[in-house]
Chains A and B, each alone.
Chain A
């Protein structure tokens, strides 16, 4: 197991390095960054000044190593647009995004695991149909529309929850539901399918033949096997929620990192984009690593891989 974790760690580090090269390279793929920064009307002299000022005249590997070295220390340079340190901007907003992401994935798992399991125990039962209905609706409703409906009901009509902002824990309730509901259908379907598959397996029959009580068969023998693919999917969903919660953040005026990403893209703010891409990718890598370790703990066959 230790060996497995070390192997996965080394691999994660290599992926992280590759991602850093790509996100650094993005600046150059979009054309000469000095020209982009200087604006369309700039003279050659002005461009040359900017090139020197931002260090674009140095060899690219040197620039990369410089950038990476700073990034590791949490310094992503100055935002070209806001003219303030990128790291300050990101880290002040990351808390909101991470809180929302963690709440949303927990919400999604709390709904999808029990419902997936229950509907697998009795396929085609009333509960199964209800679960399928919830899943289909979840897939069909756009997040922004669902978010607006909640605001109309709970903020405007009932006045229970704040419609926007991130000042209190109540502000996170509706965004959590909206973002979590979005991730629920896939997780629920996967849990259900996995459970149905596992429950018809030979080792469940063996467990029953041992005289184990149904509860033990279900929780000790079936769930552990069925949940393995769900763990992998949840890790991907989690990464997605951190990077892609722009819509939800906009609807509820939660100024998180997703919102910042959208702004920096539309304003061509290269250094902020670079930093966000790197950070979001790191989240993906960390969650995938954690999911791999958790799965290897669940299923010993994965430990040798």
Chain B
């Protein structure tokens, strides 16, 4: 087979215009890229880089307001930009297929998953009903779903996120497409599920001899599966090459910046916090959720937090790591008394915080502050940043003028301009908003700061920036921090000590290096083994730059 026959997708000089008034004239500019058979090409870039637009253009799913103005998208030799919608839809789901980011909402809740897979056969082939069914069952087996017969009759809401993503993959694989486009297919999944899906992709590359275009923002994922890498920034391809070249010897400053932001595998030993006073102590904390018994359904109980014991010393950063459903968020809610605890106690600074009467709680709230996951949802869109910053201290009796002064000071600390005080949240990016949220939490001078997945929603380079900022502020203000995350690498990078939670219990605890390099618990070992990019040692960008490469 010659090289051209091997090329499934060849994008040439593609430019897509953005509607007037955007932050730049083109969503994608002069893009060139190839995807060959049996090859995984990763497109990497941060949000807004144009990577998703590229995949939607190829699939013909671009929103109407966006129009390719130049170039061609050659799929098996045909320019799909010249196809009518009807012709394009004959290729979709048939010769080219796509897998999306959000498995929870990618399937129609009203139909069984078997029905939704079969529909692809019904659309693109003349198979009989029984043949379609047999093929569907076979596909379910191929994407490693247990009991294909049972899954066939299941509705999406009866399946987990990972299982749903396998269904979406099965839909994509049904007609044995030549091109598979995956848009952040593992971003919404837990690390162990991600690892299984990624190995499924590696397998598919061989068994289906398809070309795979894999869009991601995560360099660890790239290191795990990519044959070739395309790096995009603001609609432009800034670098492309083999995985080895791009990951280990990045040339473009932007690629270097992105790789430099990848959390390190190791870190230097933190200053000792041994002997510092204990600021927060959690004793045998229990929280169980009950659904009330009704006439028709028996009561159900979920043990969200079981027998959790913790000690946090002044100046310490304690990482709490766990997958979704591990109970880490419930634990946080119990600690700050957003939820009442069933049993046990939370001590803060020698006072039993969990038993303070509701009426007196107000004064104690300022000792402990929290930064949430979603920087978009946690600021009121209709009030100025200044208003939202001073609200806390004013609430505690600080005169507004003094509070405003403090707000200015904090904006400086989180490296924001003073005029942000008079602006509204929608005028800021996700990273800026998260910095505002940090400032907001610090306004009442808390002793303990809780960061609940506070960097998970951010791009890697922004994530690094926010993490550095948190570390600096912590140092400067002598804060104690609880860092809740699902990402082991991020936890290891920022924490002195780590606890790993699984099914509401702490299964492992120790200092970061210890947990990381010598895990004792089976679950922790499983989590660590599931982390993508194991074989990749992140290059020392500073050294590369010194060498002038």
> Which residue numbers of A lie inside 8 Å of B, CB to CB?
3, 7, 10, 201-203, 205-213, 216, 221, 224-225, 298-301
Contact = CB atoms under 8 A, between A and B. Distances in A.
10 contacts: A201-B105, A203-B109, A209-B59, A209-B93, A209-B172, A210-B92, A211-B94, A213-B123, A299-B110, A300-B155
Contact of B61 (A3, A208, A224): A208
A203 B107 contact: yes
Interface of B: 59, 61, 86, 89-94, 97-98, 100, 102, 105-110, 119-120, 123-124, 155, 157, 168, 171-172, 295-296
Contact of B109 (A7, A208, A216, A225): A225
Given A209-B97, A211-B123, A300-B155, A202 B92 contact: no
Contacts of A205: 61, 100, 106
Contacts of B92: 208-211
Contacts of A202: 100, 102, 105-106
In the A-B complex, the 4 residue pairs with the closest CB atoms: A211-B93, A211-B92, A210-B93, A202-B105
B157 A300 contact: yes
A134 to B, nearest CB: 26
Given A206-B100, A211-B89, A225-B110, A301 B157 contact: yes
A225 B93 contact: no
Given A209-B92, A211-B120, 14 more contacts: A3-B296, A206-B100, A206-B106, A206-B168, A206-B171, A208-B61, A209-B61, A209-B100, A211-B91, A211-B123, A213-B89, A221-B108, A225-B108, A300-B109
A212 B110 contact: no
Contacts of B94: 211
B124 A203 contact: no
A255 B295 CA distance: 43
Contacts of A301: 109, 155, 157
B151 to A, nearest CB: 15
B174 to A, nearest CB: 8
- Most chain-A CB neighbours within 10 Å: which of B110, B119, B296? B110
A209 B89 CA distance: 8
A122 to B, nearest CB: 10
Nearest to B108: A203
Contact of B107 (A7, A206, A211, A224): A206
Contacts of A203: 105-109
- Most chain-B CB neighbours within 10 Å: which of A201, A208, A299? A208
Nearest to A228: B110
- Most chain-B CB neighbours within 10 Å: which of A206, A216, A225, A299? A206
Contact of A210 (B86, B105, B123): B123
B34 to A, nearest CB: 22
Contacts of B155: 300-301
Contacts of A225: 108-110
A39 B397 CA distance: 67
A224 B111 CA distance: 10
A300 B110 contact: yes
- Most chain-B CB neighbours within 10 Å: which of A3, A205, A206, A209? A209
Contacts of A213: 86, 89, 123
A212 B109 contact: no
Contacts of B106: 202-203, 205-206
